[in-house]
Structure 1
Amino acid sequence: MIVWLNGAFGAGKTTAANELLDLLPGSTLYDPELIGAGLRHMLPKERLGEVDDFQELPSWRRLVVDTAAALLNEVPGPLIAPMTLLRREYRDEMFGALAARRIPVRHLLLHAEEPVLRCRIDQRASAEGDEAGRAWCLRRLGQYTAALPWLTDDAHTVDTSRLTPRRTAERLAEAVEAGHGAVDIVQTPEPTAETVAAGVLLFDERDRVLLVDPTYKPGWEFPGGVVEPGEAPVPAGVREVFEELGLHLSTPPSLLVVDWEPPKPPGFGGLRLLFDGGRLAAGDAAALLLPSAELRGWCFATEEEAARLLPPVRRERLRCALRARRSGLPLYLEAGVPVGAPDTVVPE
């Protein structure tokens, strides 16, 4: 298990984590910041110059998960990880990858009001003579405030404004013992080889496409999922739509796109199929049922709106699927690019 101590700089995560070691038998301090420090020494300066924070590095997010899994093969756990995590897409990526490894997460938020945070940041910077660090931490207070709505919804909150580090740790230990902060997230095993996935596009009366927001990976997605061994893609897409949305598709969906996704380590790639599930009646959309451990929300989006929500690879796949839908002819893609299709098949 990982006890993830989240919160703004100055919330008291590190001091509370060290106190918490005494209260949780078998626990080990796990500082993901050390991985960031290591990457600063290993990556070329040109790459480091492209990011403002090492959390923006996909390698950091991957290594945090892999290192946690490796450590839990060496120590009984739990791991106590004091680490600010303010971007929800990073939370989804990392907690989803931990869930895929069957590593449960307790997400605990150490909160303090902004005047308290500013005072603590100033005191620490003055003691260490770190003016650059002070400015960096203060700039991120706005990001913390903006993230609070999803943080307080996702994590169990402990207000540290008037608590000593020891009392904070005691409150955290009580929360862990009571089961608070447990991250309810789908445990989707990571693929070990190429996969075939079937997605189904559903539309409203304005021809906006239905997108869903997974809890276990960043970015929005189409309803659908991996085709199981021995399963055909169309029934797989129909099954996934029912499991994810509670909708029964009475007519088999028609093919729009076959996209070969190349392997990109650590991913294996494979075939990605998109089908046209047709238009939903208003009553069907109102009755959608989402599994909370897998999806946190859904929306209908225009092509332009979807382009802002989807990761690039899915954005291009949707663009081609919508054009195939308009033309009535399916498209074959490789890495999101149509192959062997006449210009008339992909009208602008």
Structure 2
Amino acid sequence: MIVWVNGAFGAGKTSACRELTALLPGSVLYDPELVGSGLTRMLPERRLAGVSDFQDLPSWRLLVPEVAAALLAEVEGPLVVPMTLLRQEYRDEIFGALAARRIPVHHVLLHAGETILRARIAARAADPGHPDHGEKAGRWSLDHLPHYRAALPWLTADAAVIDTTALTPRAVAERIAALVRQGTAHRPIVQTPLPAADTVAAAVLLFDEQDRVLLVDPVYKPGWEFPGGVVERGEAPTLAGVREAAEELSIGLDRRTLRLLVVDWEPHTGPRRGGMRLVYDGGRLDAAGQARLRLPAEELRSWRFVTLREAEQLLAPGKARRLAAALRARELGEVLALEAGVPVGEGAAEAVVDG
């Protein structure tokens, strides 16, 4: 189990988490900042050029859940993690990777008003004994307050909130411990374990009256997706598409009406395996059908109909190419074969692997 304590710089995360380890038997403090500092020492300067925050390094976001899983194999746990996460897509990426490893996460936000935060930041910057002492550290913390302010809508929706304005670190820790015991801060995320081999997945494209395509926003990974998922052992791809549409959107489709648009080979990238990706035309959803859409909160955050141009801003590049090909196949009444999102015969083997 992980207790992830989020909040702005100056919210009191580290001091509260030190107290919390004394209240949760077997708990260990895990600071992902150590992963970041290690990376900044190991990566060449040319890679770090222009990187002002180690959280922007994909390697950091990959290693944080990996190190957590390794630590939990060594200790009784839970892990107490004092770490600011202000970008929702980074939260999705890290928490989703933990969910794929079946590691439950309790997400707590320590909050204080901006006046209080500024005063705390100034006090610790002026304290020679504080790890964040100095003008540079103080300026860094102050510069991130607007980012915290912008992130508050999704943070307060995603985490259990504790106002630390009038609380001591011990009192904050006691409240966090109570939330953990009650399960109030637990954020269940349904995520398929990372596959050990390449997979076959089926996606279903659904359209509105304007021929815009439906995309969904998963809580367990960054970016948007098509409705669909991995084909289970012994399952027909069309049945997988129908099943995923029912599980993700609470709509019933007839597998006999699905029309195959694209067969795409997706290469192995990062920690996830690749494999064959089948894209089907699931038809149109009228206003009544759209009104019946229901999303499982532990899997999907929202849905929307988008144009291809809008989809290109939401999807990974490989998926955007796959969608463009699927829309072209739908218009032509054909089935297109792709490799890495590129039609076979058009340089697929040399395509950049990024989807």
1:187 alignment partner, SS class: coil
Paired residue for 2:197, among 193, 200, 211?
A: 193
Alignment match, 2:262: 257
Alignment match, 1:57: 57
Mean Cα deviation higher: 195-204 or 290-299: 290-299
Check the 8 A contact 1:238/1:252 in 2, yes or no.
no
Alignment match, 1:39: 39
1:22 alignment partner, SS class: helix
Task: Extract structure 1 runs of 4+ deviating beyond 6 A.
Answer: none
Alignment match, 2:142: 138
Percent identity of equivalent pairs: 64
Give the aligned residue type for 2:73: N
Alignment match, 2:20: 20
Partners of 2:50 and 2:207 lie apart in 1 by 38
1:202 alignment partner, SS class: strand
**Cα shift at 1:266:** 2.0
1:21 alignment partner, SS class: helix
Alignment match, 1:110: 110
Paired residue for 1:338, among 335, 343, 346?
A: 343
Partners of 1:193 and 1:208 lie apart in 2 by 34
Matches within 5 A, 1:50-199: 50-128=50-128, 129-199=133-203
1:121-157 deviations in Å (ceiling 9; x for gaps): 1111122452111111111111101110111111000
Structure 2: tracts of 5 or more residues without a match: 347-355
Paired residue for 1:322, among 327, 341, 345?
A: 327
Alignment match, 1:303: 308
Paired residue for 1:270, among 255, 259, 275?
A: 275
2:127 alignment partner, SS class: helix
Paired residue for 2:290, among 274, 285, 301?
A: 285
1:211 alignment partner, SS class: strand
Structure 1: tracts of 5 or more residues without a match: 342-348
Work out the number of aligned pairs and report it: 341
2:161 alignment partner, SS class: strand
Alignment match, 1:212: 216
Question: How high is the TM-score relative to the length of structure 2?
Answer: 0.93
Partners of 1:158 and 1:274 lie apart in 2 by 44
Give the aligned residue type for 2:58: P
Q: Does 1:238 align with 2:219?
A: no
1:127 alignment partner, SS class: coil
Question: How high is the TM-score relative to the length of structure 1?
Answer: 0.95
Give the aligned residue type for 1:43: L
**Cα shift at 1:166:** 1.3
**Cα shift at 1:340:** 3.0
Partners of 1:117 and 1:319 lie apart in 2 by 47
Partners of 1:168 and 1:125 lie apart in 2 by 22
1:316 alignment partner, SS class: helix
Mean Cα deviation higher: 296-305 or 195-204: 296-305
Partners of 2:69 and 2:24 lie apart in 1 by 19
2:233 alignment partner, SS class: coil
Partners of 1:265 and 1:172 lie apart in 2 by 34
1:40-87 deviations in Å (ceiling 9; x for gaps): 111111111142211111111111101111111111111100000011
Partners of 1:84 and 1:16 lie apart in 2 by 14
1:177-225 deviations in Å (ceiling 9; x for gaps): 2212101210311111101110010000000100111111111100000
1:251-273 deviations in Å (ceiling 9; x for gaps): 43111111111112322211111
1:153 alignment partner, SS class: helix
Partners of 1:273 and 1:323 lie apart in 2 by 15
Alignment match, 2:9: 9
1:238-284 deviations in Å (ceiling 9; x for gaps): 11111111111134311111111111232221111111111112101
Q: Give the alignment's Cα RMSD to 1 decimal.
A: 1.2
Paired residue for 1:312, among 314, 317, 342?
A: 317
Give the aligned residue type for 1:301: V
Alignment match, 2:352: none
1:239 alignment partner, SS class: helix
Give the aligned residue type for 1:46: R
Give the aligned residue type for 1:27: S
